[in-house]
Amino acid sequence: MGGNASCDTSVSLADWGRSRHSGTAHVEHVFCVRTVKEPHDTRTKTAMSIRSALTFARVHSVNAKPPTPGSQSSLRESNRARIVEAIRQFGGLTQVELAGATGLSAASVSNIVKELTTLGVVQTAPSTRSGRRAQHVTLARTPGMVGGVQFGLRHMRVALADSAGTILADHQLPLGTDHRADAGLDRAALLIADMLETFDAESSELLSVAVALPAPVQRANGLISSPGILRGWDNVAVSEVMAERINKPVYVANSSNMGALGELRHGAAQGAQHTLYIQVGQRIGAGLIIGGELFWGANGSAGEFGHTTSDPDGQICRCGNRGCLETVAGGNVLLEALRVSHGVMTLKDMMRYAGDGDLGCMRAIADAGRAIGLAAANLCNVFNPERVVVGGDLAKTGAILLDPLRETIERFALPSTAESIHIVPGSLAGDAEIIGTIAYALERSDLLHGYSTQQRPSPLTHTPDPTEDQ
Ligand SMILES: [Zn+2]
């Protein structure tokens, strides 16, 4: 995959990105970020895993027997995967560029591209490069495309998928703290337009776009329903503003709800009728799956688990209430609690130290697990889920968070309720939200070409990695 490419190769591909997109300043920046930094950037792993959700399943499904590690077939599969990764990263490449991106020989690239074309994984089209004939290779796709945009507090992720749910391109870029809504939406719209161009797709092929925001959202108009929670986004009719930019229907939802939908369709909540999905990171959120479907509530803001009261005399929350769960167990609060003993740290630092056995960091995460477990026990008593799926950054610490969370649910939920609950980590890790956002865009689109709820791609199996960034 692209992460194996050398820095030199990556820089040359960045140049390629610049020349190809010389008229689009924002997009140039995206290509630079994702190419020059990629070999050393842990975000790459997140991007890798989302790709593996769909295309890798297709690539690997051609072999009935799993390959033996180190065997010839294992090497061939690994090389195929590198080619697919590189194509997805850049949207499309010539075979010469593929050789540069993967470090494989031109002959190997040619053979693998032929195999992948036969398998229906990629498609080729004649083109010219530097005046010479070349084969432009893109991922094969079914007609119709949807976009998914996920806004975090300091980053934005944009993905483009075909109507079968295969994610064809996936980019992440940083955003300034308290960025403004219009600037973020402008960049998202530019990026989607650029992705479509990369695939030589007409804008008419775009069916819809879904946007996930880390705040409670009114489903009808995309307005954030609690002012102050996401600065710079209050009173912005997100669906309307984004729809004006891309001239397509735009559906807006809360990020945790999208994470729940991702896990329901492709992850750890598959097959369960009633699931509580909890997202634990800088913020705490949840999504309720009832009767096999995401439960939205009266106006779309169901699942605001982080703003359930945990300590009536506690700190004032950004929502205006006092003592919300997020003021007790949110990532920033844990970091603040560790500041005197450990100094200034990031969430990722804290997770790494905890994984290395640092008692203070382990204690902070375990206490958060207990606080979240107590709130979850109350919720489980109310709607009796069969599964609790814990996702978000902090879930990557595994047992450090999950054991105290599980013990607290078992202790405080009614025995009959507790007995029937399976508490598991999310299987999509940092990809749950973007995968859910794509699923939502498809499900809201008028044309669900080939994307049936009965016939979805294989679930992604992902080993949580504490070093991953979201
Ligand atoms: Zn609150």
Distance 318 CA to ligand 1 centre (A): 6
Distance 103 CA to ligand 1 centre (A): 50
Query: Tell me: the pLDDT tens digits for 399-430?
Result: 999 999 999 999 999 999 999 999 999 999 88
Cα–Cα distance, 208 to 171 (Å, whole number): 18
Last residue of a domain, one of 78, 110, 139: 139
| More confident of the two residues 225 and 63 | 225
Buried/exposed 368-397: b ≥16 CB within 10 Å, e otherwise: bbbbbbbbbbebbeeebbebbbbbbbbbbb
Long-range Cβ contacts of 236-245 (<8 Å, 24+ apart): 236/181, 236/182, 238/181, 238/185, 238/211, 238/213, 239/211, 241/181, 241/182, 241/185, 242/149, 242/185, 242/188, 242/189, 242/209, 242/211, 245/185, 245/186, 245/189
- Indicate whether 11 pLDDT > 80: no
Query: Tell me: the pLDDT tens digits for 311-360?
Result: 999 999 988 999 999 999 999 999 999 999 999 999 999 999 999 999 99
Are 420 and 437 part of one and the same domain?
no
Q: Is residue 469 part of a domain?
A: no
Distance 305 CA to ligand 1 centre (A): 9
Are 416 and 435 part of one and the same domain?
no
Q: Is residue 310 part of a domain?
A: yes
Q: Is residue 264 part of a domain?
A: no
Q: What is the mean pLDDT of residues 150-157?
A: 90
Query: Tell me: the pLDDT tens digits for 278-324?
Result: 999 999 999 999 999 999 999 888 999 999 999 999 999 988 999 99
Q: Is the pTM of this model over 0.75?
A: no
Distance 295 CA to ligand 1 centre (A): 20
Are 117 and 227 part of one and the same domain?
no
- Residue 33 tokens read as 């970020």
Q: Is residue 158 part of a domain?
A: yes
- Split into its structural domains, the chain has a count of 3
Contact 137/124 with Cβ under 8 angstroms? yes
**Burial class for 181, CB neighbours closer than 10 Å (0-12, 13-18, 19+):** buried
Distance 285 CA to ligand 1 centre (A): 11
Are 287 and 417 part of one and the same domain?
yes
Are 128 and 167 part of one and the same domain?
no
Distance 220 CA to ligand 1 centre (A): 23
| Chain-centroid distance, C-alpha 297 | 24
Q: Is residue 376 part of a domain?
A: yes
Distance 307 CA to ligand 1 centre (A): 4
Are 132 and 165 part of one and the same domain?
no
The values of phi and psi at residue 293, to 5°, are: -130, 155
Q: Is residue 463 part of a domain?
A: no
Distance 184 CA to ligand 1 centre (A): 24
Q: What is the mean pLDDT of residues 89-103?
A: 86
Distance 310 CA to ligand 1 centre (A): 10
Distance 321 CA to ligand 1 centre (A): 5
Q: Percentage of residues in the chain with pLDDT exceeding 90?
A: 52
Cα–Cα distance, 303 to 307 (Å, whole number): 9
pLDDT range class, residue 394, cuts 50, 70, 90: very high
Q: Is residue 363 part of a domain?
A: yes
Distance 317 CA to ligand 1 centre (A): 5
Q: Are strands 250-254 and 206-213 parallel, antiparallel or unpaired?
A: parallel
Distance 152 CA to ligand 1 centre (A): 17
Distance 393 CA to ligand 1 centre (A): 20
Closest CA to 370 of 406, 399, 423: 406
Distance 331 CA to ligand 1 centre (A): 14
Where in 64-115 does DSSP place strands (E)?
A: 92-94
Are 379 and 435 part of one and the same domain?
no
Supply the CATH number for residue 242's domain: 3.30.420.40
Are 395 and 318 part of one and the same domain?
yes
Q: Is residue 457 part of a domain?
A: no
Are 181 and 90 part of one and the same domain?
no
| 275-280 β-sheet, strand order | 293-295, 284-290, 275-280, 387-391, 422-425
Quote the domain boundaries for residue 109. 2-139
Closest CA to 2 of 113, 125, 101: 101
Are 321 and 189 part of one and the same domain?
no
Are 114 and 180 part of one and the same domain?
no
